[in-house]
Amino acid sequence: MRPFFVVLLMTAFLTGCTRKTEEQSAYIEIPKPADKGWAFESRPAWSDDFDYEGSPASSIWDYDIGGSGWGNNELQYYTKNMSNVSVSSGVLTVTARKEALGNREYTSSRLVTRNKADFLYGRIEVRAKLPAGKGTWPAIWMLPTEWSYGDWPKSGEIDIMEHVGYDPGVIHVSTHTEAYYFKINTQKTATRRIENATTDFHVYRVDWTPYAIRGYVDDLKTFEFVNEGKGSTTWPFDKKFHLLLNLAIGGDWGGAQGVDTTALPASMVVDYVRYYKMIEK
């Protein structure tokens, strides 16, 4: 065989191997994590028991302010006024009112721990009593602090508790990602009906590990979303998130059956918020 043809054949062989290797590597799946049965520390590493008076502690809480609709066509203007958010008698009270401010006819508040308390894995627990009334939409939830994978929903969202006033007593626990979110009807979600959600305190929590996010209502497991090992489109939950507490009025979901203005003012009352570190294994 002539040297020229040997070189030509060797080149074709090596090129074919390179392409095959590239094609194979494109389909390598990120290993799905094993459930190591992680536990959590028994004492909170961060908390607010609201054992003081006045505005929420500035060392812990910040605010989102404004009346932009917040991506859901919500009707309220968020403030940090004490008429909308205050601490007294051992509880935090977030109150929505029928009053004009800016371009909105309602006011309320949205507290955030962003850049003051940011978490990666752990147990987040909130004891709260929810507002009653059609049009109310309270939420206890988490958003990414740095948006490492892109804008919403690419960097994820964890909803520890959502409740809409026209469907009293039904608690929603959800996660949203690029692959699984409500605007394309693929969100991962679960519900639990509880008695006296608007008159009694209940405990809402998530246990967040590298394997799964599990949601609980009064210690009863309600929700589980397992890491599929397919990268950030399904699991962006390997970055720091912060906590939000807010009470919206109206919006695409909360206002789907209108707003009962006679129910206002209405309040979400929070007894405590606590974060427990995950114990590494």
Sorted by sequence, the CB contacts under 8 Å of residue 16 that are 6+ apart come out as none
Integer angstrom CA distances of residue 149 from 210, 234, 252: 17, 11, 26
At residue 2, the 3 state secondary structure works out as coil
Q: Which of 157, 178, 195, 228 is catalytic?
A: 157
162 is known as an active-site residue: yes
CA-CA distance, 79 to 63, in Å (whole number)? 8
Q: Which of 74, 105, 125, 162 is catalytic?
A: 162
Sorted by sequence, the CB contacts under 8 Å of residue 69 that are 6+ apart come out as 251
Alpha helices (runs of H) in 47-115, residue ranges in sequence order: none
Across-strand partners of 212?
Answer: 226
Q: Which residues are catalytic?
A: 157, 162
